[in-house]
Structure 1
């Protein structure tokens, strides 16, 4: 599921796009933001389905090999460890996966089966695959460990697959690392006796509402917050401050004022961490300094009111 930090990243990108384009259609932009987050689930399912399609391809090749005129002993009696992998079979038989694919027309691997072949070829050449087939132990534990490594070592780092995803949807460029982690967590949590069920997109309704409120309030109040920032940066003209830094500070101020259950220090730390990935090398120090000054003034002026003990 999407976490609060990645929600902040998605909101940051939408706020940046809206301000840069000077577009004032906040309803349309919010719909695009939510659509972008929803499409992350497609990426999550496509990664899981890739393993199923690779397994299907392996089974198909085995069936064809048995029909050879000069079939070898290996062709006639192949190692079926991979095609019988318990975890991949569970994904293949999952009603939630099948339903999501059907409902959202995710026929990507039927229309673009060359990527399935690329992953299968790479898997076959790997020591991971050879060692797995040669493992005598036939257990859920071994199957699960292999599937996790298959995804982490073969699928996730594949550049051609990443390029395909980026071409399909530009917002996936920043989503890929997060979704890859999400897939690994889902596989790691899967238990042998359980039916494989897709994870949730949002943890709860609060997280879903967090998207809309953070985006709307930041956009609607950004001019007002810009004055607060200017007051705390007398030696800086606003046009000398990196655009992303300004947006991150405005988003943090939005959290200070509108989310009474989020501790001020948590908000500051979150935006410092986001800045390390999306802004300049020194941005984290600048953002920390400005937010520290603003938070202290807002607390003194009662503009920040937190609910609960120790939330400031």
Structure 2
């Protein structure tokens, strides 16, 4: 389910955490953590675990976000029943729409056995509180997009898809109330919300066959571990390749994240023969657009392209030939 771009983001975050902690605890960065350092093996083991935990955390937040969506949709029926049971009912009380509860995308989650099992495994029923659902439902009910959706008597797959996506983007992902709730549930929400957005976007486009219990395949986990270990192990050498290309830039002002992305990209050029160089460059450009400064994508593109040409001239880039 998780893509290689998502994995690269998690590796980047793990490397950033390692680099920051090394500077704080030992007084030097990742570039000086060589294999003969007494803490090297311990650090590798620790940050592979950090990486795995970050991937698990992304899975948790992804499933939790979708579970909130389901619970809010289900609350439309609870509200309709409560209002219809009032002693003094108005005509409005008798005509509360439950259309969102029957949304095709909501039901595809409820019908997905792996989603139901993931909710159970992660104990999300204990995490999400009724008052939170009611609060989100009230926001939904007052929104123009909801009023427009329920005013249309007919139901179409396109309409359900648009509604599901609009509720996620406008009333949850972009809404202060939902972001506050998620931060209270997990303090890393702000770091992961962009990734969760990508995961839900991918789910909306390709929901069929989604396995919530197999968030990351064995080969992708191996790729994640290899990319992390290689970037740590070769960090000093990778920085030697980068440094001469910074002469036209203020090295002190180059974003920390950019240097990590550059090292990861060069590591892929040199040590990952099955990953095409064009894919590597494009991936890190896109990650920089989301996670670094406004100028970072151009910077990443220029430096990686320059280093790639130099490495290719020296015949150091060896990629597997596809049959």
Measured after TM superposition, the shift of residue 239 of structure 1 is 5.5
- 277-286 or 251-260: bigger deviation: 277-286
Gaps of 5+ in 1: none
Measured after TM superposition, the shift of residue 214 of structure 1 is 0.8
1:64 aligned to 2:82?
yes
Between the aligned partners of 1:189 and 1:273, the Cα distance in structure 2 is 21
> Deviations for 1:197-218, whole angstroms, at most 9, x for unmatched residues?
648533x543322211111011
> Deviations for 1:222-277, whole angstroms, at most 9, x for unmatched residues?
11222233344467796564433322221112111111122223323332333344
Measured after TM superposition, the shift of residue 99 of structure 1 is 0.7
Structure 1 counterpart of 2:321: 308
The structure 1 residue matched to 2:191, chosen from 161, 174, 178, is: 174
Shift of the 309–240 alpha-carbon distance from structure 1 to 2, 3 Å rule, reads same
1:208 aligned to 2:226?
no
Between the aligned partners of 2:236 and 2:196, the Cα distance in structure 1 is 34
TM-score (norm 1): 0.83
Q: How many residues align?
A: 305
1:157 aligned to 2:180?
no
1:258 aligned to 2:275?
no
Shift of the 30–63 alpha-carbon distance from structure 1 to 2, 3 Å rule, reads same
Between the aligned partners of 2:242 and 2:188, the Cα distance in structure 1 is 29
Q: Is the 8 A contact 1:2 1:201 kept in 2?
A: yes
TM-score (norm 2): 0.81
User: What's the Cα RMSD here?
Assistant: 3.0
1:118 aligned to 2:131?
no
| Structure 2 residue matching 1:165: 3-state secondary structure | helix
Structure 1 counterpart of 2:259: 246
Measured after TM superposition, the shift of residue 70 of structure 1 is 2.0
Q: Is the 8 A contact 1:109 1:116 kept in 2?
A: no
Q: Is the 8 A contact 2:115 2:213 kept in 1?
A: no
Structure 2 counterpart of 1:272: 285
The structure 1 residue matched to 2:307, chosen from 294, 297, 304, is: 294
Q: Is the 8 A contact 1:151 1:184 kept in 2?
A: no
> Deviations for 1:156-212, whole angstroms, at most 9, x for unmatched residues?
222121133234334332321332232243234457xxx88648533x543322211
Structure 2 counterpart of 1:14: 14
Shift of the 274–180 alpha-carbon distance from structure 1 to 2, 3 Å rule, reads closer
Q: Is the 8 A contact 1:53 1:109 kept in 2?
A: no
Between the aligned partners of 2:56 and 2:80, the Cα distance in structure 1 is 37
Q: Is the 8 A contact 1:263 1:306 kept in 2?
A: yes
Shift of the 130–290 alpha-carbon distance from structure 1 to 2, 3 Å rule, reads closer
Structure 2 counterpart of 1:44: 62
Between the aligned partners of 1:197 and 1:250, the Cα distance in structure 2 is 32
Between the aligned partners of 1:96 and 1:143, the Cα distance in structure 2 is 22
Q: Is the 8 A contact 1:62 1:78 kept in 2?
A: yes
Structure 1 counterpart of 2:31: none
- 72-81 or 159-168: bigger deviation: 72-81
Shift of the 249–94 alpha-carbon distance from structure 1 to 2, 3 Å rule, reads closer
